[in-house]
């Protein structure tokens, strides 16, 4: 849910849609911010998490990363509220260890990732993320690279079907892909409303299980355009490299593909695998000591009260772990059951 102009602090933007931070108290509990320590908020958005950390630990400092230049531009006022304590950095969280090193934030005492899109992105029709309202079919968080319209108008039918099936878990992926290709022979699909109506027509109804018929198609395209799963996998490895022993990694996800990836990462890194292959002599397989310890074995979900106040929180899941002293692992395993699909 977005609230309009709800910031109370002086200098805050007025009359703009703002993002309501999800699982805020639970994130603060998990990150356990302390004075004198350095934190990385790798998904700055509207700055709700950054501000909460800066307030909870008055001697701390935060490096705030976002790939969306408009998010950082609207966050400048917040940096002015906390002179010398909040540094803004435009970039992708898959690079967060390099961004942290450049900014003098490595090693860090905590990393928080609140993945997905913000309400400002979702609610602005010009950004093209949503089937509610009409806008250009864009979906790029960074405003750079191929748009969702480029993908639906140029990818071949089999690839479109793979994108919808794997990244949207859309059962009718092939039917929708075929309809997109047939339709674009007449004229390119340029607007969110055109795609939403096309999908609803192909599936024969506007709503499926209470959600718009195009929900999964839009999710798939958004994940593809922003290469979200591989960004997330990269960020987990980068956090493992940048965190000091005792530092905490807190990840909030919004759908099962993301949550599965985080669960797999934490399970793997928290389990000891002294000799991963029984076909190799022990000295050929470097021992992988646990690089994380679970803070919570089960994901934390929002309360009914939070969901009632902010329906967008409904599918949020928080997982957190503490960095051990073990060396970072080689970071190639990302825990996906299908090959990389990215622009």
Ligand X SMILES: C[S@@+](CC[C@H](N)C(=O)[O-])C[C@H]1O[C@@H](n2cnc3c(N)ncnc32)[C@H](O)[C@@H]1O
Contact residues toward ligand X (CB under 6 A) are: 19, 21, 43, 45-49, 65-68, 71, 92-93, 114-118, 141, 231
Nearer to ligand X, 117 or 251 (CB): 117
Nearer to ligand X, 203 or 265 (CB): 265
C-beta of residue 323 within 8 angstroms of C-beta of residue 244: yes
The rounded distance, in Å, linking the Cα atoms of 246 and 226 is: 31
DSSP annotation of 15 reads S
Nearer to ligand X, 70 or 273 (CB): 70
Nearer to ligand X, 51 or 109 (CB): 51
> Minimum CB separation from ligand X for residue 202, in Å?
29
> Minimum CB separation from ligand X for residue 190, in Å?
23
> Minimum CB separation from ligand X for residue 189, in Å?
24
Nearer to ligand X, 19 or 269 (CB): 19
The rounded distance, in Å, linking the Cα atoms of 137 and 193 is: 9
Q: How far is CA 314 from CA 39, 143, 216, in A?
A: 27, 28, 16
Nearer to ligand X, 37 or 50 (CB): 50
DSSP strand pairing (17-19 vs 86-90): unpaired
**Tokens matching residue 98:** 């390099």
DSSP strand pairing (207-208 vs 211-212): antiparallel
Within 10 angstroms of residue 150's Cβ, the number of other Cβ atoms is 16
> Minimum CB separation from ligand X for residue 171, in Å?
27
The rounded distance, in Å, linking the Cα atoms of 298 and 263 is: 9
> Minimum CB separation from ligand X for residue 218, in Å?
16
C-beta of residue 60 within 8 angstroms of C-beta of residue 39: yes
> Minimum CB separation from ligand X for residue 216, in Å?
19
Nearer to ligand X, 92 or 192 (CB): 92
- Report helix, strand or coil for 191: strand
The rounded distance, in Å, linking the Cα atoms of 218 and 116 is: 13
**What phi and psi values does residue 167 have, to the nearest 5 degrees?**
-95, -15
Nearer to ligand X, 114 or 259 (CB): 114
Please name the helix (run of DSSP H) or strand (run of DSSP E) that holds residue 171, with its range, or none.
Answer: none
C-beta of residue 251 within 8 angstroms of C-beta of residue 238: no
> Minimum CB separation from ligand X for residue 116, in Å?
5
DSSP annotation of 20 reads P
> Minimum CB separation from ligand X for residue 92, in Å?
4
């Amino acid at each position: 849910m977005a609230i309009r102009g709800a910031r109370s602090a002086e200098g805050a933007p007025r009359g703009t849609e703002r993002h309501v931070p999800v699982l805020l108290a639970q994130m603060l509990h998990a990150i356990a911010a302390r004075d004198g320590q350095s934190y990385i908020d790798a998904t700055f958005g509207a700055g709700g998490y950054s501000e909460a950390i800066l307030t909870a630990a008055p001697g701390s400092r935060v490096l705030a990363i976002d790939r969306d230049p408009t998010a950082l531009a609207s966050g400048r006022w917040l940096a002015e509220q906390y002179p010398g304590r909040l540094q803004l950095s435009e970039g992708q969280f898959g690079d967060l260890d390099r961004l942290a090193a450049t900014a003098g934030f490595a090693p860090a005492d905590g990393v928080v990732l609140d993945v997905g899109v913000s309400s400002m992105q979702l609610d602005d029709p010009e950004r093209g993320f949503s089937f509610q309202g009409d806008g250009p079919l864009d979906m790029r968080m960074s405003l750079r690279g191929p748009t969702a319209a480029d993908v639906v108008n140029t990818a071949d039918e089999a690839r479109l079907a793979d994108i919808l099936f794997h990244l949207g878990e859309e059962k009718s992926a092939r039917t929708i892909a075929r309809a997109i290709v047939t339709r674009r022979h007449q004229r390119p699909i340029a607007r969110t409303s055109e795609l939403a109506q096309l999908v609803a027509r192909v599936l024969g109804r506007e709503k499926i299980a209470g959600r718009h018929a195009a929900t999964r198609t839009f999710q798939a395209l958004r994940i593809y355009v922003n290469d979200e799963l591989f960004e997330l996998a990269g960020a987990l490895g980068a956090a493992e490299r940048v965190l000091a022993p005792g530092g905490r990694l807190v990840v909030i996800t919004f759908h099962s593909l993301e949550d599965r990836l985080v669960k797999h990462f934490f399970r793997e890194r928290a389990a000891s695998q002294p000799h991963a292959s029984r076909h190799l002599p022990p000295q050929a397989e470097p021992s992988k000591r646990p690089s994380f310890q679970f803070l919570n074995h089960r994901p934390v979900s929002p309360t009914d009260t939070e969901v009632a106040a902010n329906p967008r929180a409904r599918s949020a899941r928080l997982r957190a772990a503490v960095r051990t002293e073990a060396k970072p692992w080689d970071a190639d395993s990302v825990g996906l059951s299908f090959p990389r699909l990215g622009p």
